[in-house]
């Protein structure tokens, strides 16, 4: 079971899952994935989504490439892991069981990953929707010079009128 839960974590972190070995037809799978994503969005609370993004952030701080940006104490990481495990269990075994079941019947590992992906996407959508985040996300533009893009822009085909 730890392996499958780890796949859910990878799905939440990466927002991507492997489609190798999937048995369902692409259109059927897409419909099932969309139903699962919608279920997760509808059945999670603001607190669930906040827990998910806090958990994601805490996990990302373990990466050597960004570990200098934050330090999450071990006790807080443990609390977040416990909370995320409880949330994932609730989504799979209760709230979205009807949407998870057909996906899990085809590929259990993929189903766990898709739940993680849906939780991550739902949480990140909420986190990134604030005015403060919008401003912070555009602050890098202060360091862009239009002159640096002029050769590229000049090389584009001209649109006819």
Q: Where are the domains of the chain?
A: 2-131
Residues in the chain with pLDDT values less than 70: 1-26
- How high is the pLDDT of residue 57? 94
- How high is the pLDDT of residue 27? 77
- How high is the pLDDT of residue 2? 54
Report the predicted TM-score, pTM, of the whole model to 2 decimal places. 0.75
- How high is the pLDDT of residue 159? 87
Rounded Cα–Cα distance for residues 91 and 95 (Å):
5
Of 125, 117, 103, 127, which Cα lies nearest the Cα of 9?
117
26 Cβ contact list (under 8 Å, min separation 6): none
User: What are the structure tokens assigned to 136, written together?
Assistant: 């912070």
Rounded Cα–Cα distance for residues 16 and 142 (Å):
31
- How high is the pLDDT of residue 20? 40
CA atoms within 13 A on the CB side of 29: 17
Q: To the nearest 10°, the Cα dihedral for 128, 45, 119, 24?
A: -130
49 Cβ contact list (under 8 Å, min separation 6): 122, 123, 126, 127
Q: Give Cα 12 to chain centroid, integer Å.
A: 4
- How high is the pLDDT of residue 130? 85
- How high is the pLDDT of residue 106? 93
- How high is the pLDDT of residue 4? 53
């Amino acid at each position: 079971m730890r392996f499958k839960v780890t796949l859910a974590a990878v799905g939440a972190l990466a927002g991507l899952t492997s489609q190798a070995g999937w048995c369902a037809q692409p259109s059927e799978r897409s419909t099932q994935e969309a139903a699962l994503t919608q279920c997760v969005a509808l059945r999670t609370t603001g607190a669930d989504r906040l827990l998910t993004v806090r958990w994601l952030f805490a996990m990302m701080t373990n990466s050597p490439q960004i570990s200098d940006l934050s330090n999450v104490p071990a006790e807080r990481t443990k609390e977040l892991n416990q909370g995320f495990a409880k949330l994932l269990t609730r989504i799979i075994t209760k709230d979205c069981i009807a949407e998870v079941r057909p996906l899990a019947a085809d590929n259990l590992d993929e189903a766990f990953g898709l739940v993680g992906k849906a939780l991550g996407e739902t949480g990140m959508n909420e986190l990134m929707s604030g005015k403060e985040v919008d401003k912070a996300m555009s602050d890098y533009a202060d360091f862009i010079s239009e002159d640096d893009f002029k050769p590229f822009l000049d090389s584009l085909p001209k649109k006819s009128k």
